[in-house]
Amino acid sequence: MAYERKRPADLAHSLSQRSRATRFAREQTSSAWRRETFTMPRDAAREKAREWFNSFPKQAYMTEIESWRELADGQIEFTIRRLPTAD
């Protein structure tokens, strides 16, 4: 039985690919949530979030910032989710 040596970079790449595939599959499933991901400078990101919360109030659409992170270039990547309709 041959043993294949893997470098840490190989493992990192494998995990990254798996994470992308999982995220894509999760987004493609029929979910009750509507999600949108943005990447923009901090001030523009704040303005976009305000715009969403004004258009889709949290009380009616359960709008929330699902995830966010600061990228190396200083931009903010964030995902907003909401319900498609307010009952």
pLDDT tens digits, 7-44:
777 777 777 777 666 665 665 555 788 999 999 999 99
According to DSSP, the residues that pair with 64 across neighbouring strands are 81
Instruction: Supply the range of the domain harboring residue 38.
Output: 32-82
Q: What distance in Å separates the CA atoms of residue 35 and residue 61, rounded to the nearest whole number?
A: 12
Rounded mean pLDDT of 60-75? 93
Q: Is residue 15 part of a domain?
A: no
Q: Is residue 61 part of a domain?
A: yes
pLDDT surpasses 90 at 47: yes
Q: Is residue 2 part of a domain?
A: no
Of residues 13 and 48, more confidence is placed in 48
Q: Is residue 53 part of a domain?
A: yes
**Residue 37, number of CB atoms within 10 A of its CB:** 14
Pair 41, 74: CB distance under 8 Å: yes
Q: Is residue 24 part of a domain?
A: no
Tally of domains within the chain: 1
Q: Is residue 21 part of a domain?
A: no
User: What pLDDT is attached to residue 12?
Assistant: 75
Q: Is residue 56 part of a domain?
A: yes
